[in-house]
Structure 1
Amino acid sequence: MRARPTRRTALTAGALAATSPLLPAYAAEADPAARPGTPTDDPWSRVPAILARIRPPRFPQHRYDIRDFGAVGDGVTKNTAAIRRAIEACHRAGGGHVVVPAGGRFLTGAIRLRSRVNLRVDGTVLFSTDPADYLPMVLTRWEGTECWNYSPFVYAHGERDLAVTGHGTLDGQGMDGPWKSWRDPGGGQPADQAELRRMGEQGVPVEQRLFGAGHFLRPNMVQFYRCRNVLIQDVTVLEPAMWTLHPVLCTNVLIKDVDVIGRINNSDGVDPECCADVLITGCRFHTEDDSVAVKSGRDEDGHRVGVPSRNIVVRDCVFSGRWGGIAVGSEMSGGAYDIFAEDCRINPLDFPGRHNPRHPVFLKTNTKRGGAIDGVYVRDFTGRQIDRDCVYLTTRYSGQTGPYPAVIRDVRVEHMVHDGARRALHLEGLASDPFGPVRVAHCDFTGMSEPNLIEAAPELRLHKVYVNGSEVHV
């Protein structure tokens, strides 16, 4: 294994020091090395420039204890209005820290954050299980399609310099509310899901895609929509109703040292969607779906918005999620470029999942999605005991077909060590859309029960890849 800086030394003073209050939106076209499809000898050489742009927001030192605005931390009193008053007071005064104090359990409905506000969680924020507490509806994105729906539990739209920090807990009570029943057979979510997808495919104006009261699309836990300069640090996030941390159309996002634990279906850990310049580092994921899933919109609606995800770095994380560790897709119709993941552990003994994960690396698309996955770079992953394949690339996801090319190209996996899986490599391509260059090098896979399965990958290159002690070749 190469000698190189640790996470903390690599996050230089320029990347994490106190910085200017606002950053301009990053234009990838200004940097030729960041343009999709631009070859470089070492794609990792682009990472320092990405990290230099990811700078956490700064906040004035003013503190606004939510108890001073009427909040009661007894786990019973509903504090939605008190928390809103504290956030508005902080915002009007130019910013600061809205404090959820240690020792209390503060029940609330939807929390809407504003610019220059750090929600400092030292106690427990306990989210209501009553869907009415997440009304009125807000503009959101639900599984890659824009609509108006219940508010995410923590939400912001069009804000700058905002954060959720502290060593406390956001508890979504996802298994205690009605949310699971909505998705279960006989619940209302499948019908609403199909209707929203129809609206997206047929180009129904977003202002007419009205869900919320009387409907059954589960809200996300934390969603920042069209925001800049976002920090989520140190908190534990428990039991979402659905996706957990979901920045959408955001720039300059740092998610650091966060634990995400969820038992409900589709409880992804972090889903950066149509985002640029994102660092996810030091986090632990114990979820019932992908741990980190890079997304960029779904089908026709994703093409309409037309914004890719790019320049995303994942480091020093632990993946015990049910499906993918680092995943891209399946909602990726806007494209995904330059995704870097390194030094992550899969299903380790000190943080095992309730169920074995399935794929440390999971790239998924189909000809209905379109878009392109172009530039995914993974190195120094270690893992044990997963149910399926260590590296799974598919352009046949869910068996869906459509009129678009299914593009996965420039994928590199290096220095992966894994023990216990079905296969080391499963590349499931299409003859009409073969994979572009895929390189796997310096990897050691043991305890594999089946041989590699390679389909439509003419540009696969293997170098010093060992499966069950024997070097394998294309």
Structure 2
Amino acid sequence: MKNKTLFPILILSAFVFFFNSCKNKNPKTEVINNFDKADEIIEEIKELKFPNNVFNIIDFGAKGDGKTNNSTAIKKAIESCTQAGGGKVLIPNGQFLTGPIHLKSNVNLHLEEGAIVLFTTDKKAYLPVVHTSFEGTELMNYSPLIYAYKQKNIAVTGKGTFDGQANNTNWWPWVGKNTYGYEEGSLSQHDSINLPRLRMMNEKGIPVSERVFGDGYQLRPNFFEPFECENVLLQGVTFTNAPFWVIHPIKCNYVRVDSVIVNSHGPNNDGCDPEYSKNVHITNCTFNTGDDCIAIKSGRNNDGRSVNIVSENIVIENCHMIDGHGGVVIGSEISAGVKNVFVRNCKMDSPNLDRAIRIKTNTLRGGFVENLYVKNVQVGQIKEAFLRINTYYAIYANQEGDFIPSIKNIHLEDIQVENSGKYGILIKGREQSPVENVTLTNVTIKGAKTPLSIENSEPITFKNTFINGKQY
């Protein structure tokens, strides 16, 4: 009788043990493992709707002669549109010189085909300073060329061109490099009054309102920056000659960047840098840039940890990356963390494209990257590596701190690389925190001088993967 009573208990105990063993054996299986989540994110970003009102800037005194400053006319058109409950502010065919454009809720700034918006080279036009950001650190600085602050339901659409008129005599010399027009003895962003001062304010937690730059300083403005906005659409337009980062949605929710062309080879001319932002869809775009094509950010050092907004739920698809430091990059400013990034159906190809997929951080940045999925990407020629993960990233000296980064769940599938340059896969993790759970499935990499260079990483899981003709 006793044995009969004990038997079901033993069976139940064995079942519980088996269940827990299976559950705990590989917790990585709990991460997102397909692109269903990507489709859900895209569906969450709703199509924006605007009233049928149209406000042509010509009716407010604008002249498309490339010489008349149309700042007042464009501002009046936007104000009238807002007062009417929203609609379309129309910039017709022509060349329209202007200062910075500040968007308001329920306004669609629309460029007709043939419209060119030229942004003035008069730096005082970008004053007074506004709440903005420079390389992951918030500050009060020159206004971005197109700016929206705490607005909802905004759009920039059409088939026209925004020309920032940045070049080797305007904005670019401030980077401090001779190749961009810098002359020895001139002020640059690296002087003590500029970046070193801003970095100190970041580390000491100085309030943003007291981080005042702008006139008399050499920190370049972003091109298009919606700041703390919700429901943002950027569609169809072209950006060229940017002072700094081109498309920078910061602290935004529900952003779509569709069929945009970025053709700008200046210093730090990143194509699109979502920062502290979530539910972002970047699709059908072309990036030909002087820096990273797409770089996902979440704040630099103390700023990122204080703001503590993860950049998440970002889908990148059907894009073409040409020149740039990286095709799709996460970092280096990722102190608040990045998760759930999906890349699919993209093409990357240029002798001036350094890497295809890149993650970069260090122990000053810290942060984490979790759940990166890359599928069906065609890579032609690149310089350095198809995949590079670097937790020792440094441009400047003294990039070591106390914040150990974490990188895990990096999955690449159905990828063809014709010429990978120096490396196929280049991973440099930390002994204290190795890179975890990297998988390559149906990946073919050709032309890599060194197929694998891996430090402090769990073994990569290879499935039907070939590098230089050898199966791994």
Query: TM exceeds 0.5?
Result: yes
Aligned equivalent of 1:183, options 159, 163, 175: 175
Deviations 1:156-210 (Å, cap 9, x if unpaired)?
0000000000000011111165211111244321121121111001111111100
Deviations 1:77-101 (Å, cap 9, x if unpaired)?
1111110000000011100000010
Per-residue deviation, 1:131: 1.0
Per-residue deviation, 1:43: 3.6
Q: Name the SS for the 1:440 alignment partner.
A: strand
Q: Name the SS for the 1:90 alignment partner.
A: helix
Residue 169 of structure 1: aligned partner: 161
Deviations 1:199-237 (Å, cap 9, x if unpaired)?
001111111100000011000000000000000000011
Aligned equivalent of 1:227, options 226, 229, 254: 229
Residue 407 of structure 1: aligned partner: 406
Q: Which amino acid aligns with 2:315?
A: V
Q: Is 1:464 the counterpart of 2:464 in the alignment?
A: yes
Greater mean deviation of Cα atoms: 265-274 or 36-45: 36-45
Q: Which amino acid aligns with 1:265?
A: P
Q: Which amino acid aligns with 1:340?
A: F
- Describe how 1:6-17 pairs up with structure 2 within 5 A: none
- Partner Cα separation in structure 2 for residue 331 and residue 255 of structure 1: 21
- Describe how 1:246-257 pairs up with structure 2 within 5 A: 246-257=248-259
Q: Is 1:57 the counterpart of 2:56 in the alignment?
A: no
Greater mean deviation of Cα atoms: 158-167 or 443-452: 443-452
Per-residue deviation, 1:263: 1.4
Residue 260 of structure 1: aligned partner: 262
Q: Is 1:334 the counterpart of 2:325 in the alignment?
A: no
Per-residue deviation, 1:450: 2.0
- Partner Cα separation in structure 2 for residue 313 and residue 88 of structure 1: 33
Residue 14 of structure 2: aligned partner: none
C-alpha change, 1:277 and 1:305, in structure 2 (3 Å) is: same
Q: Which amino acid aligns with 1:50?
A: I
Per-residue deviation, 1:396: 0.7
Q: Is the 8 A contact 1:308 1:336 kept in 2?
A: yes
Q: Is the 8 A contact 1:55 1:254 kept in 2?
A: no
Q: Is the 8 A contact 1:130 1:177 kept in 2?
A: no
Q: Is 1:152 the counterpart of 2:154 in the alignment?
A: no
Deviations 1:411-450 (Å, cap 9, x if unpaired)?
1111110111221100111112211111111100112222
Q: Is 1:121 the counterpart of 2:120 in the alignment?
A: no
**RMSD (CA atoms):** 1.4
Residue 100 of structure 2: aligned partner: 110
Q: Is the 8 A contact 2:28 2:437 kept in 1?
A: no
Per-residue deviation, 1:452: 1.1
Residue 422 of structure 1: aligned partner: 422
- Partner Cα separation in structure 1 for residue 168 and residue 388 of structure 2: 34
Q: Name the SS for the 1:86 alignment partner.
A: helix
C-alpha change, 1:41 and 1:278, in structure 2 (3 Å) is: closer
Q: Name the SS for the 2:450 alignment partner.
A: coil
Q: Name the SS for the 1:451 alignment partner.
A: strand
Q: Is the 8 A contact 1:129 1:177 kept in 2?
A: no
- Partner Cα separation in structure 1 for residue 308 and residue 123 of structure 2: 31
Identity, in percent, stands at 38
Residue 193 of structure 1: aligned partner: 195
Q: Is 1:382 the counterpart of 2:381 in the alignment?
A: no
Deviations 1:228-277 (Å, cap 9, x if unpaired)?
00000000111110100000000000000000011101100000001110
Aligned equivalent of 1:357, options 340, 343, 353: 353
Q: Which amino acid aligns with 2:470?
A: S
Per-residue deviation, 1:459: 4.2
C-alpha change, 1:369 and 1:66, in structure 2 (3 Å) is: same
Aligned equivalent of 1:133, options 121, 125, 128: 125
Q: Which amino acid aligns with 1:437?
A: N
State the structure with more CA Rg: 2
Per-residue deviation, 1:41: 5.9
- Partner Cα separation in structure 1 for residue 313 and residue 283 of structure 2: 14
Q: Which amino acid aligns with 1:53?
A: E
Per-residue deviation, 1:37: 8.2
Q: Is the 8 A contact 1:56 1:254 kept in 2?
A: no
Structure 2: unaligned runs, 5 residues or longer: 1-26, 178-185
Q: Which amino acid aligns with 1:282?
A: N
- Partner Cα separation in structure 1 for residue 190 and residue 218 of structure 2: 8
Deviations 1:315-374 (Å, cap 9, x if unpaired)?
000011321111101011111010000011012xxxx5xx52011101111111111111
Q: Name the SS for the 1:248 alignment partner.
A: coil
- Partner Cα separation in structure 2 for residue 239 and residue 49 of structure 1: 35
C-alpha change, 1:253 and 1:38, in structure 2 (3 Å) is: farther
Q: Is the 8 A contact 1:311 1:337 kept in 2?
A: yes
Q: Is 1:90 the counterpart of 2:90 in the alignment?
A: no
- Partner Cα separation in structure 2 for residue 405 and residue 206 of structure 1: 26
Deviations 1:18-67 (Å, cap 9, x if unpaired)?
xxxxxxxxxxxxxxxxxx98824624221222111111311111110001
Q: Is 1:45 the counterpart of 2:41 in the alignment?
A: no
Residue 207 of structure 1: aligned partner: 209
Per-residue deviation, 1:464: 1.5
Residue 450 of structure 1: aligned partner: 450
Q: Is the 8 A contact 2:32 2:371 kept in 1?
A: no
Q: Is the 8 A contact 1:442 1:465 kept in 2?
A: yes
Q: Is the 8 A contact 1:56 1:230 kept in 2?
A: no
Q: Is 1:397 the counterpart of 2:388 in the alignment?
A: no
Q: Is 1:367 the counterpart of 2:387 in the alignment?
A: no
Question: Runs of 4+ in structure 1 displaced over 6 angstroms?
Answer: none
Q: Name the SS for the 1:254 alignment partner.
A: strand
Q: Is 1:292 the counterpart of 2:288 in the alignment?
A: no
Q: Is the 8 A contact 1:228 1:251 kept in 2?
A: yes
Aligned equivalent of 2:72, options 74, 81, 87: 81
Aligned equivalent of 2:238, options 226, 236, 239: 236
Per-residue deviation, 1:299: 0.2
TM-score w.r.t. structure 1 length? Answer: 0.89
Q: Is the 8 A contact 1:126 1:170 kept in 2?
A: yes
